[in-house]
Amino acid sequence: QKEVEQDPGPLSVPEGAIVSLNCTYSNSAFQYFMWYRQYSRKGPELLMYTYSSGNKEDGRFTAQVDKSSKYISLFIRDSQPSDSATYLCAMSALDTNAGKSTFGDGTTLTVKP
């Protein structure tokens, strides 16, 4: 079983919809939680970064972490065609000097105009 499981998708929504992207994990040592957006043939770019449990909002994006359920989510409000990309969740343990993150397999999102 993988340490990080991500809803596989693909996901197709109309413009303006609210999108929910989700990951579950099994390693209780994970403390740092990240969401990356990756456009085709490009490197991932960091979207959201949270430490421990709670919510974090940045514009149309909201990241939620529920450590008790080992579940994280990324919500996109008023989705736009430019949001069409693959979204990767990633997690790291408290000791991050090694810098290793464990990534989900990604969810491909298409927002149709």
Partner 1 sequence: GAVVSQHPSRVICKSGTSVKIECRSLDFQATTMFWYRQFPKQSLMLMATSNEGSKATYEQGVEKDKFLINHASLTLSTLTVTSAHPEDSSFYICSASTLPYGYTFGSGTRLTVV
Positions that interact with partner 1 (CB under 8 A): 32, 34, 36, 41-46, 49, 51, 88, 90, 96, 98-101, 103-106, 108
Q: How far is CA 20 from CA 7, 90, 98, in A?
A: 10, 16, 30
Closest approach of Cβ 6 to partner 1, in Å?
A: 8
Q: How far is CA 23 from CA 15, 51, 59, 83, in A?
A: 23, 15, 21, 19
Checking phi first, is residue 70 left (phi over 0); if not, alpha (psi -120 to 50) or beta?
Answer: left
Write down the residue that tokens 């960091």 correspond to. 46
45/78 with CB nearer partner 1: 45
34/76 with CB nearer partner 1: 34
Closest approach of Cβ 16 to partner 1, in Å?
A: 27
14/99 with CB nearer partner 1: 99
